[in-house]
Structure 1
Amino acid sequence: MKIPWRPLLFGGITALAALATHRGYSAFHDGVRPFVRDVAEGRQERPEAARTTWDMSAGFVYHYAIPTSLATGVMGKHLLGLPADWIGIRLRKAPLVVGAGLLWGAAASCAVSGAHWIFGNLPRPIDSELIEIGRPLLAMMPLIPVVAAASQFGVRRGGLVVGAVTTAAYVAAAVTDLEAAPAVAFGIGAVVHIILATRQRVDEPPPLPEPLAAGRQEVRRGTLPLMVIGALLAVGTSLFWLAGEPASVMLVGLGHPLEAALIGLYSWIGFVPLVTYTALASRAYTSAGMPDGVLALGLLIPFAPAAAVAGAAGMWAELWGVGRFERLMSRYPGLHGAGAAIRDGLLLVSEIALLVGGFITANAMWPGVGLFVVGGFWLLNEVSGTRVMRVAIGPLAAILVGLAANVRVWIS
């Protein structure tokens, strides 16, 4: 009998993350972290906190994770982490939390894998075409640090500088290895952006406020379970079963784990200011580590046992270094601004690239009609106040076009 390793792995991740949330050690969502300790220690009612958690998380599950996971067959981290928050907060008994986490992780694994298998066994298979939605993102990923630098420093002082260096690196790398050019250009552009962000230095940063200093010790209470979660997350990415942001999910689906890891490491820098402050203030950490550092380690180490060690070590380093990260942010104030700029750049480029990919893929599956459907989805979403996150429009509309094309085949 073949052991279902994939559902067991995802079930274990969700169960441990839910238990860590239940005990107030951590929370996946940045908005949940400020009150997770209050819930664990009985100062806030679980049903009310669970409703708040669901309201904040549902959109990310529906729009941020499901479309790209279904398109690629690669599990997005939000499908595990956000439900784990809700389970850990809503249920009162630890055994129920663990059981519900195992059940959800295994069920989500089967749903994602099963849906992608169905896409590949339709009368007109669409599985390989849906993965191609991420192809424009691969070419456009060097624009992420360009947009981030322009957002932080302005177009002239940041965007043009990083853009010129990135373009030169892209052209130079493309001469010898066109396939490696996006990764090379992205890496160089990201380094230049961080150098610009660290030009401003404070010789004597102010001391860490007492409440934050106390939180430095408190976040380490859950070191052991969080290290196990880090190990399992890294194993999942090393096997290319799991990825972080939608951009990383699409790149792993395309078979470009290095590029996905580079985006993960850049995203890690972008989330250091946000996660560090919320962790110290709330005395709880993030269940998956700072996005997406631990996941990126697994992508860079395609050998599961070594990835597990690296994931656990990475989570330990984050937990025990969170105070140092805050001091680093105080010494280099530009890194605070870089955090928000990186997140904005990653989201904006992902939105445009996946929309273009959705247009191309949908038109390949049903010429003319595909363009009409994807464009119609985007425009209706815009005039209705973007009820669906923009990053989901391209993949979601392309999936619907592919299914509609199969209905057309059945009818004819």
Structure 2
Amino acid sequence: MTGNFSVLNFTVVIILCAFTAFLSHMGMAVFHDGLRPVIPEYIEGRMKRPELGSIAFGLSVGFIASVGIAHTVATGLLNPWLLFLTTDILGIISPKKWIAPILGGIWGALTLTALGFINTVLTGLPVNFIGAMGEISNPVVSCFALFPLIAIFMQFNAKKGIISTVITFAVRILLTKFVPSLSADAMEMFVGIVLLIGFAVVQDSKLKHTGEEEENVFSVRTARIRKNIVFLMISGALIAVACNIHIFGGSEVSIYTLAKAYKSTDPATSSGLIQQAALSEFMRGLGFIPLIATTAITTGVYGVAGFTFVYCVGYLMPNPVFAAIGGAAVILLEVLLLGWVGKFLGKFPSIRDASDNIRTSMTTVMEFALIIGSINAVVKMGGYTGFFIAAMIYFINEMTGKRIMKMAIGPVAAIATGVILNLLCYVGLFVPIK
């Protein structure tokens, strides 16, 4: 619990945040799934670090200020939205790799000592633009799930794309109606990926290939992840320890159950609740495997918590030492399996060809989601006065040669709008919308 200010708690959280900020800066791993496809744009020289930082901020700040802080205040447990989304940002905006862990460590200390003050600062402005920034993130998850369908349209014909869209939409409607406990977005994306791979395999089966096998794009990407495996294992070990010392909850499906378990005075009840939380977390992790695996093997950037099974290990291990060993082992196994998946997919030329389409489709849906989310955010901040400011920032950028790339302009315009509206409030020229 965050109220238990032990030396161990401080040490683990500070080191964990410092290390994940370093991973983010180096482009080895980030927590936000929507950010992962953008990292190669910077690594390969097509984007500058400030632009990447603005995207990271726009994608994450709403979750940090709302979901991250809310879950921690309600349960007394830290969570990945509060810690890792922030270290994503801090690592990316850090100009030097040695500065990233310092900023991350400071954030870890702040979460344990000044959470209430941070919440007041973030939400106490006349125009609560930080809270409104959450609107940017809202369309991201649902929109990101569409990338397999866009990739199908790009690689195969429109007929297959339309058929895939109808099938995926039907699955979403049926799940929402009859199995609301499952994540419709995760299953929608899973169906899309299966259809994409299926079309590729069918196409390859009709062709005869001769000569040496072409370079496996997926293997190249997974090789980058394997190169960083020691760093990723350390991250998994630290996260598992944080879970084990009763200060961290991995997601919304387990954090409230864990809070009850840690407050219980009956050992049997507490143990049962922890096992229940671990099972719920495991089932949630299964649902996110397609998203994390696909973004990893097509970008070469992993998740700081891998497939999130390290949370379960941390909950169930008898002490921090075993938790660290288990967390590192889980990440090792995941990365090895990821390499196998990459090699398997690389045997199919059409799937290799799909890698560029997948990355392009990810970028396309992210650009769309960020623009839509940014519009929602500025309207929430200041109605159509906010819309006017943001729209003109967008069009000025367009008319002057896109000095800020499309992926970044939405969040940048939303942030600038929030600042301008607050300044107008302070000089009496704008009345905040209630």
TM-score range, shorter chain: 0.5 to 0.7
Share of identical aligned residues, percent? Answer: 20
Q: What is aligned with 2:350? A: 334
CA contact (8 A) 2:225 2:302 kept: no
Where 1:70 maps in the other structure, the secondary structure is helix
Q: Aligned partners of 1:302 and 1:13: how far apart in 2?
A: 19
Q: What is aligned with 2:395? A: 379
**Structure 2, gaps ≥5 residues long:** 29-37, 65-80, 253-281, 317-322, 429-434
Tell me which amino acid in the other structure corresponds to 1:161: I
Is 1:392 aligned to 2:408, yes or no?
Answer: yes
Taking structure 1 as the reference length, what is the TM-score of the superposition?
0.64
Q: What is aligned with 2:302? A: 291
Is 1:188 aligned to 2:191, yes or no?
Answer: yes
Deviation track 1:194-253 (CA, whole Å, cap 9, x = no partner) reads 3223332589994799xxx9xx99997865444112444676996469xxxxxxxxxxxx
Is 1:79 aligned to 2:81, yes or no?
Answer: no
Q: What is aligned with 2:61? A: 70
Q: What is aligned with 1:105? A: 104
| Equivalent residue for 1:269, pick from 294, 297, 312 | 294
Task: Please list, as runs of the form range in 1=range in 2, the aligned pairs for 1:320-359 lying within 5 A after superposition.
Answer: 320=336, 324-325=340-341, 327-359=343-375
Tell me which amino acid in the other structure corresponds to 1:79: I
Where 1:379 maps in the other structure, the secondary structure is helix
Where 2:128 maps in the other structure, the secondary structure is coil
Q: What is aligned with 1:285? A: none
CA contact (8 A) 2:298 2:358 kept: no
Q: Aligned partners of 2:358 and 2:292: how far apart in 1?
A: 7
Deviation track 1:287-313 (CA, whole Å, cap 9, x = no partner) reads xxx434x54522894785469777534
| Equivalent residue for 1:123, pick from 126, 141, 154 | 126
Residues 106 and 166 (structure 1), Cα distance of their counterparts in 2 relative to 1, 3 Å cut: same
Residues 84 and 367 (structure 1), Cα distance of their counterparts in 2 relative to 1, 3 Å cut: closer
Q: What is aligned with 2:20? A: 13
Residues 162 and 175 (structure 1), Cα distance of their counterparts in 2 relative to 1, 3 Å cut: same
Deviation, 1:383, is: 2.9
Q: Aligned partners of 1:206 and 1:409: how far apart in 2?
A: 67
| Equivalent residue for 2:156, pick from 150, 153, 156 | 153
Residues 62 and 152 (structure 1), Cα distance of their counterparts in 2 relative to 1, 3 Å cut: same
Deviation, 1:84, is: 8.1
Where 2:302 maps in the other structure, the secondary structure is coil
Q: Aligned partners of 1:111 and 1:296: how far apart in 2?
A: 25
Q: Aligned partners of 2:403 and 2:330: how far apart in 1?
A: 36
Deviation, 1:103, is: 0.9
Deviation, 1:161, is: 2.5
Deviation, 1:147, is: 0.9
Where 2:364 maps in the other structure, the secondary structure is helix
Q: Aligned partners of 2:308 and 2:15: how far apart in 1?
A: 18
Q: What is aligned with 2:421? A: 405
Deviation, 1:259, is: 9.3
Task: Please list, as runs of the form range in 1=range in 2, the aligned pairs for 1:33-48 lying within 5 A after superposition.
Answer: none
Where 1:297 maps in the other structure, the secondary structure is coil
Tell me which amino acid in the other structure corresponds to 1:12: F
CA contact (8 A) 1:15 1:84 kept: no
Residues 240 and 122 (structure 1), Cα distance of their counterparts in 2 relative to 1, 3 Å cut: farther
Q: What is aligned with 2:146? A: 143
Q: What is aligned with 1:166? A: 168
Task: Please list, as runs of the form range in 1=range in 2, the aligned pairs for 1:355-366 lying within 5 A after superposition.
Answer: 355-366=371-382
Is 1:227 aligned to 2:227, yes or no?
Answer: no
Q: What is aligned with 1:251? A: none
CA contact (8 A) 1:233 1:311 kept: yes
Q: Aligned partners of 2:391 and 2:284: how far apart in 1?
A: 28
Where 1:198 maps in the other structure, the secondary structure is helix
Deviation, 1:340, is: 2.3
Number of equivalent positions: 342
Tell me which amino acid in the other structure corresponds to 1:195: G
Tell me which amino acid in the other structure corresponds to 1:291: Y
Q: Aligned partners of 2:309 and 2:290: how far apart in 1?
A: 11
Where 2:354 maps in the other structure, the secondary structure is helix
Taking structure 2 as the reference length, what is the TM-score of the superposition?
0.61
Tell me which amino acid in the other structure corresponds to 2:413: A
